Structure formats: structure tokens, C-alpha cells
Structure 1
Amino acid sequence: MTGEALPRLAGPALNAGNRNSGYRLCLAIILAITLLQKIALPGTANALSVTTALVPSLVLLCWLCGRLRLDSHAFVLFAIFVLAAAASFVLNAGAEKVSPASLALVCAVQSILIFRPVTQGGCRSGLSLFRDVMALFSVVGIAQFVLQRIVGTKLAFCVDFYFPAGMLLDKYNNIVPIYYGSEILRSNGVFFAEPAFFSQFVGLATICELLTLRRPVRLGIYAAALLCSYSGTGLITLALFGCVWTVARGQFVYVLGALGAIGVVLLFGTALEIDALTSRMGEFTTPNSSGHARFVSAFTLLDRVTFSDLAATLIGKGPGTITTYYERMPFLMFDPTWAKLLFEYGLIGFISYFGFLYVTLKQANRSFLLPLLVTYLFLGGYLTDVTVISLILVLGIYNQDNRSIRFPGLEMPILSVESRRPKPA
């Protein structure tokens, strides 16, 4: 009797353990990439976040403990990309100042994408966890922006001003005025590396809320936080995918609500100094501006350097070389993920990486995947940045859901995190 009873009890107990471990892993990763985002990893000259080592270590530990499994197909495609990257390093070693550290960093950070949960269990809570955690940080960011006028800038931005020297990352613009010469700073949510990061995370959380519970108070909090960041990248993501979702599903009340909010903001634009944000619309065509550097400059670099040389087109200039070309350009440069891939690893590395990414994400949650990929590929230089890659891991790969609903001329995936419809008895 005892021998028969134990297997029946072990199954539910094991499933419960996997659910709890999945929940804890997702929570640990989300807290790490937010709370510790701007804390520098010792020994890296303040260039890398502590999360660069912490998140891969967490994933590796869970794999060793049997909570994660290795996806063989993703591993093979990852190995092909690593070989292409290594070939670019070797073939450019004599001509370019290639960086072995950059190659090692790419391999270490990207390797977390080859692991999968043994069971979905608690991993499906990743979207809810992210949405709730970002609601809290949004309140913190709003309070930071308001309190700087009351308690002063140094107290409102206490992490940036009072943490010991050498403890924070120094390659990000964590302290940014809303416009040149202003004494008011853009909110960075206290713990985020810079206002642009805060804006992007809040923008993704807003889309997550629109896809799930759609609570007006939460949406208002996210909107206020986006405004306090005075950064356009999160707004770009929200405008692209939030509008598509509301129109596709016929939720025009949210369109009207957004238009009403915009009207209020414009009405009080002078008091809010909203022109500091709206005036940036012309940056795309203005060299040495943030918008031009982020979205346009890479095309000029690729045209002048990569596509003018057959070898560079095929194998790239080698790992870590794109920043060495910044000073050769007549304007401010930036290296979004897609451009860094193409410049440093050429078409061979570029194609092999996207093959790896496709196999990695083909079972991911398509409901939230496109906003994540746009953020990852176009809104920042995230090829070696574990923060956004971790979002892809937790919100996409760990939260698989391939069900979708069709609309005329458009396929719009839906989430299964929460549902307003009662479950059948």
C-alpha cells in the first residue's frame, strides 16, 4: 500500500515544486534587472552591470538543479553563431583591434536563451510579475520627478548622487535635464541606468497591461511615468503596438482615453514643459542629436565601412570594433543591436544569429514578442546587455502561449495570463 501511495503523492508535489521554482526564478530575474540595473560589476571598470554575471549564474544554477533544461535545437544554432563570431575574430585579428572580451561577453549573455523551463508552472506568472513590479517602479519614478522640486535633486536622485564612487555604471546618461540648461531632471525611476531604460520598461509594461487586465488606474500610472521620463523610446513602442492592439480589438474607448490624455497634456504643456519632449520630433533629421544617433547614424556607418568592402560585408570587422569607428564619423554615433551584429560579424554572423533567435523564439509567447524584439533590436545596443535579453527570456520564452485570435487582415495573438471571463463550472 505504501509503495503504491508514494508515486501518486510525488507527482503533485514535484509539480508544485517546479511551479514555485519557476515563479522564484522569474521574480529573481525581474528584480535583478531592475533594482540592480545600474550597479557596476566589480573589476569591469564600471562598464558592466552586476546583472551581467548574476542572471547567467541564476540560469546556470537552475539548470544544474534540474529546474531548467537545455534546448538541443537552440544549442546547435547558438553553436553555429559562436563559430561565425569566432571566425570573424580570427580573420580580423591582424587588421582590426578586435576584442576577445567582447566575444566572450556576447557568448555568455546570449547563452541564457538556450535554456527552457522543465514545466511552465510558475513561469507563466512572468508577465504578471513584470507588470506589477513596473507599476511600483512607475510610482517611484513619478515621485522622484515631483519630489526633486521639493526636497532637491540630490535627494530625489539619491542613488546617483550618494552611492560610493565606482559603484555605479558610468557609460550611461543617468542624470539628464529635460532640456539643455534646465534644472529639472528626467526621471530614471531611481534604480534604472538612464531615463531611456526606464521609459522602455514602462512602455512594455503598459502594453502588457493593455493585453491583460486593462485597468484604467494602472494605465494612468504608466502614462504619468512615461511623461516624467521625457524619453521617446518607450512612447515609440507604446504608440506602435498599443495603437495596433486597440484598433484591432475594437477597444476604441482606450483610443479616446489616450486622445483625451494627450489633450490634457497639451493644454497644460507650458507648465509641464512638454515642449522638451515634443521638440525632439525633429531629431531624426538632425545630426548629433539623440534621435539621429539612435535611428539613423548606423546606416551611414554601414554604408561607408561595411558595404564598401566585400570581406567586411561577409565576416564583419570583428567583435568589439564598432565603437572604434565612432570618432571617424562626422556626427554622434550609436550602435543598435541589429547594426552591431551586422558591422562586427557581417552577413554570415547576422544570418546565423537570426537563425538562432528564430529557433529560440518560435515557441515563445507571440502576444508580447514583437514589442520585445523591436525594443531589443532597434531601441538600444542590447546585444551584450543582459537586461533586455532577460525580458525576452522571462516574458517570451518562459511564458509560452501560441494561441491566437484572428481579425480581418490581421492576426493578433492574445494572452492567457488573466481573463475576465469566468471559468466553466
Structure 2
Amino acid sequence: MSSLLSLGGPRRFGGASRQERVEPSGPIAPEWVEEVQPEPVEVLPRPLRIGIALALVSLILLTRFGLNTGAYGLNFAVPILYVMIFKGLADDKVNLDLPGLLLYVAFISVGAISLMVNANLPYRQDGSMASLMLLASLYLPFVFVIKTYPMSREGWLWTMRLVLNISLLVAIAGIVQFYLQFVWKPTWLFDFSPLIPKAISADVLANSEIEAGSFLKSNGFFLREPSAFSFLMAFSLICELALFKRWMRVGVYAFALMLSYSGTGLLALGFGLLFPFGFKTVVRVSAIAVVGGILLLLFGDALNLSFTLGRIGEFSAESSSGYIRYVAPMRLVYELIDSDPWTAFLGHGPGTVFHAVRAYEFHDPTWAKLMYEYGVLGFVACLSLIAYGMSRSHAPVQIRATLFFNWLIQGGHLLTPESVLMCYVLLALWPAPETRRPRYAGSTMPMTTQQFDERHDMKGAMR
């Protein structure tokens, strides 16, 4: 009787007054279901929005800036994300992910053991504790994930729109920068790092001014090198094609990519377009290849695109960038991976890859640095942590594949905040897509009387 009385009159739910008819017990018949308007759900809590926005600005627009300790310039995104995570934990908006924590502990433990095993060897320089500490600080965020909530995918899409808006700004800046050099080329146009105060300068050695014939390659003004600009444009193309298909933006990103004259973006674009595997992928890649061929025929001479295509032969020349970045690291690992009984499993210790003396010049892509410094065990532990974080993402597979490919192969990104934390903010920060969502108005599963009362009582208690 009391339950009938409590439901007998008009009641307010979600700001609207409704008259209801219910049976004394059992589920409500479909024809008696009253429409219940869902409460407005915030797409993303405000502190998380602020933290993500500031982190993305730091990772893309402020790559030349950082907290300068004298030995290292730490990107502002690192402290920003830590503050955001601590605030999220306090507000119960961020969770500690147990599998991620176990993988992180395993990885850092391998690094610590490698450092101790290789310490004080008479024939080798010691490993670097600072390198291990930086590694630990950059990968610790992968242990934390936003708490699952009904609008988590919408929150992730908000983040992707934001990163693409920032990328569009960089694309326009890169195009203007490229053509401005022909009429006005001040000293700061391609590298304004000398103008930044030392205390807030990233102070990273970079090739900001690279010639491509009679002109300089565009680096997007904000970014340190044409290769970074090239990858950002390629990644933006992948995201735009996978999510929003705004063709005007696709054209801007593609044009900016050409003006970088860098193979980094082309490799990333080619790799990303291979996913997901299937017939549509073959059609898509073929169509893009045809369009690219037409552009090459029409504008190849005007834009000097033969310079970019000619770099394909670099992989066989020891002094070339392609050989140093992609081939020489394989030689290094093959020659020195088992120089001591333990190095194949534990590596030579953190921060030691450039202590190796070879007759050829080599770069330190993530995979090679992991194998050389942390061995097979560290390599597997680190890849497991990254792969696990990416696996729960809302992102389509081509976005995940492109970011992973860049982090692992395309540069010395193991300790680069711009690459590591981009993987975190865009992928690993987000909870796995929900398998069940709450049912509201228009649902095919009507709400029972008990469910209605429980929702109403919960709202009353919260008030």
C-alpha cells in the first residue's frame, strides 16, 4: 500500500512532472511505460578537460619549451598530467589500473636490475640513474585511467577534435612559414629557440633548418624538426579519415605534409593506411596512390617532390639519414646484444646506447634502445605495458597502429615526452568502451517500477 501511495501522485524526475500508472509488482507493461528523460551527463569533467587541453598544447605547440634543469628540459606536459591525475584520483574520476601497475613494475624492475648488474664494470661506462628515473616518470601515467562513465567515448572524441584543431593551426603555420621564406626570412622563422629564456627552454639539439634544394623544409614553426611536422600531418590525416572525414582539412594536412619534404610522415601514413586489413583498405590505398601520382605529375616540378621520392635510396647509403635511423640500429643490436652473458636478457644498462663505439653512425629508435639497454626482458615488458594501454582505447585500429609505429620505430622516442605522452593522452588514458550502457527514453528495454524508485531515491539522497 505504501508503495502505491508513494507512486500515486505527480512526481518530479529529471526536472519534469509526470503522472504515472504502475502495477503493484512485476515489470511495467510496455504500453504503460512513462518516458523518463536522462539527466544531462558531462562529456568530460572540467579538471580533466583543462589538464588534457594544457597537455596537448604543451606536447604540440610548446615542444621548444620545458622545465630546464640544466641537464634536461622537461616538457610542461609531464607536471600537468601528474597534477591532473592526482586531482582525478581525489575526485574519484581516475582509477589505478592493476594490470597496468604490474606491467609497469615489471618494466622498471628490469631497468633497475640492469643498472645494478652493469654497475662499475672496468671496461664500460656506468649506466645512468637519471635515465632510469626519467623513464619511470614518463611511463608511470600509463598506470592510471579515467574512470568509466556513460559519456567516455564522447569525451575521447572531444579530445580528438581538440588535437586535430591544434594540428590544423600547425599545418597553416607550416604552410605560411614555407612560402614566407621566399619574401622574408628572419632568423626566428625556422628556429626561435634562441629567443626562449634558458629557464623555460627545452634546450634540445635539433635540426630545425634543413635544406631541400634552394629552400628550407617546413617544420610547422612550432615543432623542432621537419620530421616531427611531417609525422603530425600524417597522423592528422589518419585521424581525419578514420573519424570525421572533413575533406577541406584533409587537403590542408596533405599539402602541409608535402612541404615538410620528410619521409617520416610518408612512412607513417603508408603504415596507418594499411589498417584495418581488408578489401576496403586495398581500395583506399589504391585510390590514394592514384591521387598521389596525379599530384606528382601536376605539381612535382613546382614543389620539388622528386627530392622527397629520391630519399627512398637512402636506406643503402651508410651516411644517409635513412640508413642511420633504420638500418644502423639493427647492425648495432646484432653486433653487441650478447657482448656479455647477461646483456641479451638485461641489456647494457639505462642510458648506455651512445657509449657504444662503432665505425658507423647510428640513431637510437625506441626498439633498439630498449634491446640494447634493457635486453629482451625489458623490451617485452615495455611493449606489453604500451600495448595493454592502447588495447583498451576507443580509437580505431589505424590510429593506434600509427602512434605505436612512430613510438617504436620512427625515432628515439623511448624518453621523448612528445611521443610517449601523446600515446597516453590519446589512447591509454581512456577506459575500455562500455559493453552495456544505461537505458533511457526510447530504449527497447522499459524501466521497471523498482528501477524507477531506485533512481528517484538516489536523486533524493544526493539532494
Whether the 8 Å CA contact 1:142–1:187 is kept in 2: the answer is: yes
Task: Find the counterpart in structure 2 of residue 80 from structure 1.
Answer: 106
Deviations, residues 313-352 of structure 1 (Å, cap 9, x unaligned): 1110000000222xx1222211111111111111121222
* Of 150-159 and 217-226, the range deviating more from structure 2: 150-159
Matched residue SS, 2:145: strand
Match of 2:235 among 187, 198, 204: 204
Quick one: which amino acid aligns to residue 72 of structure 1?
Answer: L
Match of 1:396 among 408, 416, 427: 427
1:264-275 matched pairs, under 5 angstroms: 264-275=295-306
Task: Find the counterpart in structure 2 of residue 186 from structure 1.
Answer: 217
Instruction: Kindly state the Cα deviation for residue 302 of structure 1 after the two structures are TM-superposed.
Output: 0.9
Q: Check 1:55–1:195 CA distance in 2 against 1; reply closer, same or farther (3 A cut).
A: farther
Q: Check 1:107–1:204 CA distance in 2 against 1; reply closer, same or farther (3 A cut).
A: same
Q: Check 1:341–1:60 CA distance in 2 against 1; reply closer, same or farther (3 A cut).
A: farther
Instruction: Kindly state the Cα deviation for residue 16 of structure 1 after the two structures are TM-superposed.
Output: 2.3
> TM-score, normalization: structure 1?
0.84
Task: Find the counterpart in structure 2 of residue 172 from structure 1.
Answer: 206
Task: Find the counterpart in structure 1 of residue 265 from structure 2.
Answer: 234
Match of 1:287 among 307, 318, 337: 318
Match of 1:30 among 56, 61, 75: 56
Give the Cα separation in 2 of the matches to 1:57 and 1:295: 37
Q: 1:106 aligned to 2:140?
A: no
Unaligned runs of 5+ in 2: 1-5, 16-37, 435-441, 445-463
Q: Check 1:318–1:13 CA distance in 2 against 1; reply closer, same or farther (3 A cut).
A: farther
Matched residue SS, 1:270: coil
1:24-423 matched pairs, under 5 angstroms: 24-45=50-71, 47-95=73-121, 96-118=125-147, 119=149, 120=152, 122-154=155-187, 156-157=189-190, 159-160=192-193, 162-164=195-197, 167-179=201-213, 182=214, 184-244=215-275, 248-249=279-280, 252=283, 255-256=286-287, 258-325=289-356, 328-365=357-394, 367=396, 368-399=399-430
Give the Cα separation in 2 of the matches to 1:381 and 1:56: 23
Give the Cα separation in 1 of the matches to 2:277 and 2:300: 26
- Larger radius of gyration between Structure 1 and Structure 2: 2
Q: Check 1:222–1:307 CA distance in 2 against 1; reply closer, same or farther (3 A cut).
A: same
Instruction: Kindly state the Cα deviation for residue 308 of structure 1 after the two structures are TM-superposed.
Output: 3.9
Q: Check 1:248–1:363 CA distance in 2 against 1; reply closer, same or farther (3 A cut).
A: same
Quick one: which amino acid aligns to residue 134 of structure 1?
Answer: S
Give the Cα separation in 2 of the matches to 1:203 and 1:340: 25
Whether the 8 Å CA contact 2:14–2:39 is kept in 1: the answer is: no
Give the Cα separation in 2 of the matches to 1:424 and 1:239: 42
Whether the 8 Å CA contact 2:65–2:73 is kept in 1: the answer is: no
Give the Cα separation in 2 of the matches to 1:330 and 1:56: 42
Instruction: Kindly state the Cα deviation for residue 61 of structure 1 after the two structures are TM-superposed.
Output: 4.1
Give the Cα separation in 2 of the matches to 1:198 and 1:329: 30
* Of 352-361 and 154-163, the range deviating more from structure 2: 154-163
Unaligned runs of 5+ in 1: 404-422
Task: Find the counterpart in structure 2 of residue 408 from structure 1.
Answer: none
Task: Find the counterpart in structure 1 of residue 20 from structure 2.
Answer: none
Task: Find the counterpart in structure 2 of residue 420 from structure 1.
Answer: none
Q: Check 1:13–1:158 CA distance in 2 against 1; reply closer, same or farther (3 A cut).
A: farther
Deviations, residues 171-198 of structure 1 (Å, cap 9, x unaligned): 221222225xx4x211111111211111
Deviations, residues 331-387 of structure 1 (Å, cap 9, x unaligned): 221111111111111112122222323333331235121111101100111111111
Bigger share in helix: 1
Task: Find the counterpart in structure 2 of residue 406 from structure 1.
Answer: none
State the percentage of identical aligned residues: 26
Give the Cα separation in 2 of the matches to 1:134 and 1:148: 21
Matched residue SS, 1:116: strand
Whether the 8 Å CA contact 1:169–1:193 is kept in 2: the answer is: no
Instruction: Kindly state the Cα deviation for residue 243 of structure 1 after the two structures are TM-superposed.
Output: 5.0
Q: Check 1:334–1:376 CA distance in 2 against 1; reply closer, same or farther (3 A cut).
A: same
Whether the 8 Å CA contact 1:23–1:125 is kept in 2: the answer is: no
Deviations, residues 271-323 of structure 1 (Å, cap 9, x unaligned): 32223211211111111211111111111111111134331111100000002
Task: Find the counterpart in structure 1 of residue 450 from structure 2.
Answer: none
Instruction: Kindly state the Cα deviation for residue 55 of structure 1 after the two structures are TM-superposed.
Output: 3.7
Whether the 8 Å CA contact 1:210–1:242 is kept in 2: the answer is: no
Give the Cα separation in 1 of the matches to 2:332 and 2:191: 38
Whether the 8 Å CA contact 1:33–1:387 is kept in 2: the answer is: yes
> TM-score, normalization: structure 2?
0.77
Quick one: which amino acid aligns to residue 60 of structure 2?
Answer: T
Give the Cα separation in 2 of the matches to 1:146 and 1:19: 41
Q: Check 1:309–1:139 CA distance in 2 against 1; reply closer, same or farther (3 A cut).
A: same
Instruction: Kindly state the Cα deviation for residue 14 of structure 1 after the two structures are TM-superposed.
Output: 9.7
Whether the 8 Å CA contact 1:144–1:190 is kept in 2: the answer is: yes
* Of 140-149 and 128-137, the range deviating more from structure 2: 128-137
Deviations, residues 60-84 of structure 1 (Å, cap 9, x unaligned): 4443444322112211221111111
Quick one: which amino acid aligns to residue 161 of structure 2?
Answer: S
Give the Cα separation in 1 of the matches to 2:392 and 2:100: 11
Matched residue SS, 1:347: helix
Q: C-alpha root-mean-square deviation of aligned residues, in Å?
A: 3.1
* Of 16-25 and 118-127, the range deviating more from structure 2: 16-25
Instruction: Kindly state the Cα deviation for residue 253 of structure 1 after the two structures are TM-superposed.
Output: 7.1
The number of equivalent residue pairs is: 397
Give the Cα separation in 1 of the matches to 2:12 and 2:70: 51
Quick one: which amino acid aligns to residue 187 of structure 2?
Answer: K
Q: Check 1:66–1:84 CA distance in 2 against 1; reply closer, same or farther (3 A cut).
A: same
